Amino acid sequence: MQQNDLLYMQRCIELAGLGAGSVAPNPLVGAVLVCDNEIIGEGWHQRYGEAHAEVNCINSVSDANRYRIASATLFVSLEPCAHYGKTPPCSDLIIHHRIPRVVVACSDPFPAVDGKGIQKLREAGIAVTEGLLEKEARNLNRRFFCQVEKKRPYIILKWAQTADGFMAGTGNERLLITNEPANRLVHRWRSEEAAILVGTETALRDNPALTNRLWKGRNPVRMVLDRSLRLPSHLALFDQSNKTIVLNTVKQENDAQVQYEKIDATIPLTDAILKAANANGLQSILVEGGAYLLQSFIDSGTWDEIRVITNRQIRIGKGLPAPLFQAHFSEEQQIGSDMIRYYFQTEQTHS
């Protein structure tokens, strides 16, 4: 490893994160071109179907510095692709510009790449270093890696609860638990995921729009579990403003922005949901309720993150209990009266 390699790869990962919410199902990728310890180009994958990070990085090099490309080192947070997809192979572009050294944070497990990009570079005489900040790079693209390696979407369970552990009161009136800054954060979370899922009772009780109105970026695909098709058409979920997938056991049908996806009632509920999500190419799902649906994912062990927002100033004594699980939180964030704890699934974590 050469001087400042770590710094440049950290910059790659920082750049890659700028594409969050815009590039899925593609991975987040950042690239930095360095010559004589000077950054002469930077880029990241900005939008699905458009130029990759390496292309944007090389294109960003000024005319005055173009001659230096052939003496530079390219840092990239994910293995350059070696196949024709929506864009040409980035490995061919690197070879074309005669970049002599490439530093890669982690390999790409996607079958069309999976080491082929690195192999192509080495066969062209390019020195390739692998594994620099690999853990950080994999964490950044945990949704992508989950889909490719586990063949299912990345699952995030989220709920808000009172200080005494309730998600809702005993009546039908909606209980507002989170404060305004925390609400904005939740809308940011929505913008980062492919889909958002709720159950029938949550849709009926709260009539949520499930959009990220309080944050920039695209809205997730709305999913609602309504096995018997009990939900009335006047709910906000059916306002045609965004795609909604209704998971049910009655019919398979498309109606403008509302898609009725018939799920298999003979298999476990979470398996049926994941099967439907895969069929629709959804890389990640933010599950926002209700308690039964959340508990189903917990009990089956089918989750990757849990985010719990607890308002420490609200106690209601009785009501709808929050889901139960056993795990140690990895991160904690205080936002006014709200405490957010983040839990990550590991091989040692069991419900």
Q: What is the pLDDT of residues 217-263, one digit of tens each?
A: 889 999 999 999 999 999 999 999 999 999 999 999 998 899 999 99
Residues 326, 349: Cα–Cα separation, whole Å: 7
Residues 199, 210: Cα–Cα separation, whole Å: 12
**Confidence at residue 58, expressed as pLDDT on a 0 to 100 scale:** 98
**Confidence at residue 111, expressed as pLDDT on a 0 to 100 scale:** 84
Question: Do 239 and 210 contact (CB within 8 A), yes or no?
Answer: no
For residue 175, with 0-12 CB atoms within 10 Å meaning exposed, 13-18 middle and 19 or more buried, which class applies? buried
Is position 38 annotated as part of the catalytic site? no
Residues 223, 196: Cα–Cα separation, whole Å: 6
Cα dihedral sign, 246-221-291-318:
negative
The pTM assigned to this predicted structure is 0.90
% of the chain beyond a pLDDT of 90: 85
The residue count for the chain: 351
Can you point out the beta strands (E) in 148-192? 154-162, 166-168
pLDDT (mean) for 87-111: 94
* Nearest Cα residue to 351 out of 322, 325, 330, 328: 325
Question: Do 23 and 46 contact (CB within 8 A), yes or no?
Answer: yes
**pLDDT tens readout for residues 160-205:** 999 999 999 987 778 889 999 999 999 999 999 999 999 999 999 8
Hey, what are 6's tokens? 């770590």
**Confidence at residue 119, expressed as pLDDT on a 0 to 100 scale:** 95
The CA-CA-CA angle for residues 186, 191, 194, to 5°, reads 115
Hey, what are 268's tokens? 């476990």
Cα distances (Å, whole numbers) of residue 118 to 71, 82, 247: 19, 8, 41
- Residue 338, pLDDT > 60, answer yes
**Confidence at residue 347, expressed as pLDDT on a 0 to 100 scale:** 46
Q: Which of 38, 42, 54, 305 is catalytic?
A: 54
* Nearest Cα residue to 224 out of 210, 205, 212, 214: 210
Give one word for 289, left, alpha or beta, with left for phi > 0 and alpha for psi -120 to 50: left
Residues 215, 313: Cα–Cα separation, whole Å: 26
